[in-house]
């Protein structure tokens, strides 16, 4: 019997790409591939790419350049580019880097087994179509191997919002929701294999419509699964935060008190230029409603500074919004152009000005995050332990607020859900002691 072929997958970007990489590995597992942590051992290397951040395509080409010597040593090695850069660049990838055997977009990876057959016959493969069939219907059932206590589960893909800075509608397509029954089956399967916490994923997850009662209805259905202890979701748009989902934050015990709800700017003028279709005031009032339902909610957000046309007054509006809302966690970036998006055609802000604004914003956000961490000292939290800590004898996990927590790990196993009293706060994690 011949040895199995080995697959190495390098994942860039968001949690949805992590999920996609898992499903691609499983799809190729059906035709004899097993995963490896070493590209040097691989018979196939897949780069699962993200197109959100600056110079994403160039980073992929740089990585492909680093793989050239390996391809020269192993001429039978198959190299593929998957994900959003593959969708955006298409045949250009193979033109610029002839060592690439396979280019596959994020909606077509269910076809990987067939593609692998073509590769074995010496063909080059390009598939960046938006197929009519649902890829999830064509993926094999997930293998029954054990899992860690947490898992991602994609329930929605694509976006119809067309924010002026974003490529997602072009690389992932229109909003599509998986049927609730399909999601629930996959969730039950994950729980059977040891998963206790599931994070529901979507480019615009709260636009989910695969359940008659939307995302809230799906969450309540998931909450009925025995053994599933925690539910999270990301990433959301303020305009799709409906009353039922707000109520679920206050009423569903398995829905964790953490919410990532990007606003991007505090300036109404810039929000309009971004095509966000909400105002800063509407966002703030929405946060008030969610916090009224769940007072202990920890809020996370996204911010872009230096968007074309942003003035110092616009930036100060963003700083004012941050001070008013108060974030326990946030992600902030300088605007960078994405070819093909409306904002890319506008006059750009001076890079030095944008860098200065980003530094000031990040200082404020870091101050708020530190305050949120320090406010946890003395409180009891629920921690789902996921791994051994960095120090001998430690165990580490996440609180219900998605904060990292480590404790002395005597008698604690991965997958345990325990009450912990927080005793100290560090820059990026909390220390605590397990309550007996």
- Tens of pLDDT, residue by residue over 122-171, are 999 888 776 655 656 656 565 555 678 999 999 998 899 999 998 888 87
Q: Which helix (H) or strand (E) holds 422?
A: strand 417-425
pLDDT at 38: 92
Summarize the confidence of residues 180-192 as an average pLDDT.
96
Averaged pLDDT of the chain:
91
119 plus 157 within the same structural domain: no
50 plus 162 within the same structural domain: no
pLDDT at 13: 75
20 plus 102 within the same structural domain: yes
248 plus 182 within the same structural domain: yes
Number of domains in the chain: 3
123 plus 150 within the same structural domain: no
pTM of the model: 0.82
Summarize the confidence of residues 309-334 as an average pLDDT.
97
Of 46, 42, 52, which Cα lies nearest the Cα of 16?
Answer: 52
**Residue 337 resides in a domain:** no
Range from 99-108, 186-195, 247-256 carrying the lowest mean pLDDT: 99-108
Cα gap 127→112, rounded to integer Å: 10
| CATH code for the domain of 46 | 3.40.50.12160
Cα gap 318→308, rounded to integer Å: 15
State how far the alpha carbon of 145 is from the alpha carbons of 2, 112, 137, 193, in Å.
22, 21, 21, 7
**Residue 354 resides in a domain:** no
162 plus 233 within the same structural domain: yes
**pLDDT-derived band of residue 212, with 50, 70 and 90 as boundaries?**
very high
92 plus 175 within the same structural domain: no
Range from 76-85, 221-230, 241-250, 263-272 carrying the lowest mean pLDDT: 76-85
Q: Which residues pair with 198 in a beta bridge?
A: 151, 231
85 plus 183 within the same structural domain: no
pLDDT at 173: 82
Range from 169-178, 289-298, 320-329 carrying the lowest mean pLDDT: 169-178
Range from 6-20, 221-235, 364-378, 404-418 carrying the lowest mean pLDDT: 6-20
Task: Provide the residue range defining the domain that includes 399.
Answer: 380-434
Summarize the confidence of residues 256-281 as an average pLDDT.
98
Summarize the confidence of residues 394-406 as an average pLDDT.
96
100 plus 181 within the same structural domain: no
pLDDT at 142: 55
Please state, as a whole number, how many other Cβ atoms lie within 10 Å of the Cβ of residue 432. Answer: 24
**pLDDT-derived band of residue 85, with 50, 70 and 90 as boundaries?**
confident
Residues 371, 375, 380: CA angle, nearest 5 degrees: 150
Burial 124-163 (b: 16+ CB within 10 A, else e): ebbbbeeeeeebbeebeebeeeebebbbbbbbbbbbebeb
Q: Is the pLDDT of residue 1 over 50?
A: no
| CATH code for the domain of 197 | 3.30.750.210
Q: Is the pLDDT of residue 239 over 50?
A: yes
135/419: higher pLDDT: 419
**Residue 274 resides in a domain:** no
Contact (CB, 8 A) for 80 and 64: no
């Amino acid at each position: 019997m011949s040895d199995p072929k080995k697959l190495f997958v390098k994942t860039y970007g968001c949690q949805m790409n992590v999920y996609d990489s898992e499903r691609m590995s499983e799809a190729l597992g059906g035709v004899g591939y097993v995963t490896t942590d070493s590209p040097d051992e691989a018979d196939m290397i897949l780069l699962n790419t993200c197109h959100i951040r600056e110079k994403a395509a160039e980073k992929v080409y740089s990585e492909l350049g680093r793989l050239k010597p390996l391809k020269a040593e192993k001429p039978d090695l198959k190299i593929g580019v998957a994900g959003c850069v593959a969708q955006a660049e298409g045949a250009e990838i193979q033109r610029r880097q002839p060592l690439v055997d396979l280019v596959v977009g994020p909606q077509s990876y269910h076809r990987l087994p067939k593609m692998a057959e073509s590769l074995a016959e010496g063909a080059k493969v390009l598939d960046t179509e938006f197929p009519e069939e649902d890829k999830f219907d064509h993926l094999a059932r997930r293998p029954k191997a054990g899992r860690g206590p947490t898992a991602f589960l994609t329930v929605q893909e694509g976006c119809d919002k067309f924010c002026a800075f974003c490529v997602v509608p072009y690389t992932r397509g229109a909003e599509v929701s998986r049927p609730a029954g399909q999601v629930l089956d996959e969730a039950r399967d994950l729980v059977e294999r040891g998963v206790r916490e599931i994070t529901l994923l979507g480019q615009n997850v709260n636009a989910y419509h695969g359940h008659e009662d939307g995302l809230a209805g799906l969450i309540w259905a998931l909450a009925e699964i025995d053994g599933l202890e925690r539910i999270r979701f990301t990433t959301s748009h303020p305009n799709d935060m409906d009353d039922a989902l707000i109520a679920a934050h206050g009423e569903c015990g398995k829905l964790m008190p953490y919410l990532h709800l990007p606003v991007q700017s505090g300036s109404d003028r810039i929000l309009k230029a971004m095509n966000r279709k909400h105002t800063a005031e509407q966002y703030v009032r929405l946060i008030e409603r969610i916090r009224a339902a769940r007072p202990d909610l920890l809020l996370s957000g996204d911010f872009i500074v230096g968007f074309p046309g942003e003035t110092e007054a616009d930036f100060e509006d963003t700083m004012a919004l941050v001070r008013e809302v108060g974030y326990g966690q946030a992600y902030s970036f300088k605007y960078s152009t994405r070819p093909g998006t409306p904002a890319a055609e506008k006059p750009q802000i001076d890079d030095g000005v944008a860098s200065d604004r980003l530094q000031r914003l990040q200082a404020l956000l870091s101050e708020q995050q530190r305050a949120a961490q320090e406010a946890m000292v003395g409180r009891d939290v629920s921690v789902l332990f996921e791994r051994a800590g960095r120090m001998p004898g430690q165990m580490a996990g996440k609180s219900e607020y998605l904060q990292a927590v480590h404790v002395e790990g005597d008698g604690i196993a991965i997958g345990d859900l325990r009450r912990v009293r927080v005793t100290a706060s560090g820059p990026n994690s909390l220390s605590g002691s397990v309550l007996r």
